[in-house]
Amino acid sequence: MAGKKVKTVAPTFSKPPYQLSYQQVADELGTNIETGLSQQQVEENTAKYGENKLDGEGVISPWKILIKQVANAMILVLFFAMALSYGTKDFIEGGVITAVIALNVVIGFWQEYNAEKTVDSLRSLSSPSAAVLRNGDIDVKVIPSGPVVPGDIIQLVVGDIVPADVRLFEAYNFAALEAILTGEPIPVVKEIEPIEGEQGVGDRINMAFSGTEVTKGRARGIVVSTAMGTEMGAIAAAMQSKAKKPNRSVDPKKSKWNPIKGSALRIWDAIGKFLGLTEGTPLQRKLAKLAYVLFGCAILLAIIVFAVNKFNVTHEVQIYAISLGIAIIPESLIAVLTITMAVGMKKMAKNNVIVRKLDALEALGGVTNICSDKTGTLTQGKMVTRKAWIPGIGIYSVERNNSATDPNSGFVTLGAAPTTDADANEREYQAKRTKRDQERSALALKFADDPEIKDRPADVPTPEKEDLETEGNDGDHPEIIPELEAFLQSTSLCNLATVRYNEKEGSWQASGDPTEIALQVFAHRFDFGRKKLVEQVGWKELAEYGFDSNVKRMSVVFQEPKNGKQVIFTKGAVERIIDLCDDIGFGDQVQPLNQEHKDEVIRQMTLLADQGLRVLAIARRVVETPKRSHEWSEYPREDVECKLTLLGLAGLYDPPRLESKEAVQNCTTAGIQVHMLTGDHPGTARAIAREIGIIPKDFGSLPADVAAAMCMTATQFDALTDDQIDELPTLPFVIARCAPSTKVRMIEALNRRGRYVAMTGDGVNDAPSLKRADVGIAMGEGGSDVAKSAADLVLTDDNFASIVKAVEEGRRMFDNIQKFVLHLLVSNVGEVILLVVGLAFQDRNQLSVFPLAPLQVLWINMLTSSFPAFGLGKEKPSSEIMRRPPHSMKAGVFTWQILADMMVYGFIMGSCTLLTFVIVVYGAGGGQLGQNCNSHFSPECNTVFRARATVFAQLTWLILISAWEFKSLRRSMFRLNPYQTDSKFPFFKDIYDNKFLFWAVIIPAIFVVPVIYIPGLNTKVLRHTGISWEWALSFAGVPIFIIGIEAWKFLKRYYGWFNGGESDRVRKDASLSLRQGFFTMARTMTRTSISSRTTTMEKRPVSARGDDQV
């Protein structure tokens, strides 16, 4: 709904709230931490500080949308034609043009207004409510987040979204996930003590920030800022401020010419913005330029009309000029474009993609690079225990797991722990394979197995072995042995997460810290859940030492149910746990932890980390001197966490989405490069990137400089100057520890290489890059409001795979836009040729007689052409749409092929209709052009009116049949799909495939007959009359037109015109194309040499830099 811009004022403090004690904060805000604000204080603070809403929320201005539609370039051109019509007192034509303008404006306004309403509804996905303490009530009250004001006492529990910036005064094992602000995926443990000195957002650990998620514990705090005063609001404000263009200053102190120069440039900016020449997508700007070029052409043609008539500008001459002006303008283009995009927008909504900006559909088809966040986009955003190493036993691996919370998804296998560097063996093996494959290729595929590389090294499993090793059923796991039981008890009990099966929902649910959820789910796989151990087995908790970010570990003390022994369970970072351990193993396998054992633990930790896993150590100790519960609470932590026995290591990771690998492969097949820009650890980022195919698994065959540039940290990338970045052989495919500024620099570097970039993201830290990217794609479920407002598209399912569907739809839209733009402009070119040459047809008064009346032109342009154009906009994607490189955004819709087709087809169409007019008037009519036949009907105008009717019918049919021809710009209308084998003559099947287009051609083709004969409409409005034998002449032009188009298409295919000189022959081996890329090829395919440094899926023209790889 429409609304006013939100006005907010931030509270002022003597110091930043995180530097003050919570009582000082309460005093300065006038609140009571025990009773909260009174109702009167709430009302006063609401009036003083405003509502808790970011600027722009819920604000949709119909007037701005309406002005945007009216200021459209094509509409402005039509305004001139309308004014000229009314100026000549031709009210019928003026009224028709007015209706055309109104139709275009209404359609565009309605579609864009609905799109904005859809986006506004998405904002309800975040921060919907808050638990506040007010009016001295004992219990908190849950209210919408909007009415929250500074001074409110807020209660936060696991799963809450923090509604405002809060200064905490109570925190019980409390942690919040601040990735939405900082990009760091690990929850931040909070404290309540004041912090000295200036600190960054990530180090203000006594604050909870708006939009962040509570992952552990509970807390209470005082709201210190809302809306635009929060950290999220600060980023939103920065997003809304536009960078000033250079040389726009009007300050005379810097230069005496500044007022003149700056004012002139500002005026030009305003005019360019109003006319659509300097803002908008490439298609918008090109259509704006086209409109003004056509407007210029219309003026030129009007001058020609006046000159031919010796500047005797009578009413008839003015009408002829208007006719030419209308003929050169594709009046229905804007309406067709808007409706086609709106239909595409609705189709994308069904595929979980909400189009925030309607014009982004056009831009999607030209995307060459996608810069994506990892967490929650390419991955599930949930931690999973993937491996567990138990000394002396081996490695337990979770296989084929499809859910982070379901313990029955996938199965567990037990394998031996690696004892050598398998990666080195794999690299040696792959190097030999590559050499052999290159030799095979050079010897014309003479496959002779090399005995030296026939067998893969023992430590490197073959694909067949891998398949055998991963066989199993969901829920299967090895036998539980004492060593595993001890490990499971520790991971389950030293854990605050909850995992349970929801009977109503029929699914597993979990709450708590992602790391603890992962460990708890792993324990549940063996039926060792914490709830069962406590409630059924009888384990009793005596004490808890929560996770401390300083020591990076957590411990609990439990009493064993059988013998009453007290056991300390500890988990944490390996380097922090190993130094506290005296022993390693369990039961009979316990051994003193000597240096050799420590080296083995570190080696196993490194092997796990290299696989992208976050590694935790699990330990325990049996208490020799039992204590009571209250005694443990006073027992020093350092005396608890000592003399431990290491039970093993747990490797956790954020698993890729199941669709991500295929989606990346599809992107690469489509010539789109995917870059992962993440705040994660470099090892984790590389492992995930390898797993989903962003980078090759083996860098050994890459040139050294390419391999070094493929993966970087943000520190390495940011240390480079722009010139150094431009000199890199390839821009990084993976950047780890990525900051918001790094993402923006990456996008700018890609733009400098001529790339068209899409950026995906969900957090506030992604918003600047979303805005800077050519296409910004935000997440709807886990994304922030700031990210959504900065983006062009919003994914409602947060799934990277949906982007592939969006790109495909974008390409389909672009192809179809080309088709219907060609369809509309060809008719305009044909009409202009007919009318310009028609200037030579002069009556007794030496006035030109137009072969087509102005309203005949409007009828054809609006009623005849529009519906087939809509039909072309609904064409299905071709089978090869995602097997070709992105189209050039520089050329846009108006490629050389489109321009050539427009002129050739327009010339054929104009020639056919002109010849028809000449035959009727000069062949059968004896050259009788009558007198004043441009303005009214008389018996002496009968020949001219019959000729117009003949031309009108023929032109209608030619335009309609061209719609079927333009279903493909290169293939014959009689065989649109050359790969089709089920029919020898598929013409009828192909044209009926698009039913809307089929009937949009058939119905107008039939309806042209009554239009010729309807009294009043024919002679007074359209200025033609009934015909007889001329019907044969009208029909005769159709096969001539088809032959001309088919001949031109054949020449394009045969000589490879507009296709890089390559013939359009059908490649029967197209399915074996190696465009998929060296790092995502199937195992059965041989590796190709990448010495040319071509990592894209499709050969593309080399850029001016002589380098196609980015």
Query: Which residues are annotated as catalytic?
Result: 373
User: What gap in Å lies between CA 1048 and CA 25, rounded to an integer?
Assistant: 79
**Residue 213 three-state SS:** strand
**The dihedral formed by the CA atoms of 336, 342, 344 and 350, expressed in degrees to the nearest 10:** -160
Phi, psi of 824 (to 5 degrees): -75, -40
Cβ partners under 8 Å of residue 938, min gap 6: 930, 931, 932
**Residue 161 three-state SS:** strand
In angstroms and rounded to an integer, the radius of gyration of the C-alpha atoms of the chain is: 36
Cα angle: 175, vertex 185, 192; to 5 degrees: 25
DSSP code of residue 1098:
S
Token pair belonging to 442: 């050079």
Determine contact, residues 509/405, Cβ cutoff 8 Å.
yes
User: What gap in Å lies between CA 164 and CA 146, rounded to an integer?
Assistant: 10
Determine contact, residues 1105/721, Cβ cutoff 8 Å.
no
Please state, in angstroms and as integers, the Cα–Cα distance from residue 999 to each residue in 225, 831, 960, 1006, following that order: 60, 24, 10, 10
Determine contact, residues 210/233, Cβ cutoff 8 Å.
yes
The residue ranges of DSSP E strands in 678-753, in sequence order, are 711-713, 734-736
Determine contact, residues 850/327, Cβ cutoff 8 Å.
no
**Nearest of 1035, 1018, 1001, 858 to residue 949 by alpha carbon:** 1018
- Neighbouring C-beta atoms of residue 28, cutoff 10 Å: 19
**Nearest of 878, 1052, 1071 to residue 972 by alpha carbon:** 1052
User: What gap in Å lies between CA 972 and CA 965, rounded to an integer?
Assistant: 7
Strand duo 165-177 + 213-225: pairing: antiparallel
**Nearest of 172, 170, 176 to residue 231 by alpha carbon:** 176
Token pair belonging to 582: 């005296």
User: What gap in Å lies between CA 658 and CA 403, rounded to an integer?
Assistant: 10
Instruction: Tell me the one-letter amino acid at 625.
Output: T
Cβ partners under 8 Å of residue 685, min gap 6: 374, 612, 676, 678, 711, 734, 735, 736
User: What gap in Å lies between CA 601 and CA 391, rounded to an integer?
Assistant: 8
Please state, in angstroms and as integers, the Cα–Cα distance from residue 72 to each residue in 166, 288, 558, 1026, following that order: 46, 7, 73, 39
**Residue 335 three-state SS:** helix
Phi, psi of 581 (to 5 degrees): -100, 140
- Neighbouring C-beta atoms of residue 33, cutoff 10 Å: 16
**Residue 37 three-state SS:** strand
Determine contact, residues 710/675, Cβ cutoff 8 Å.
no
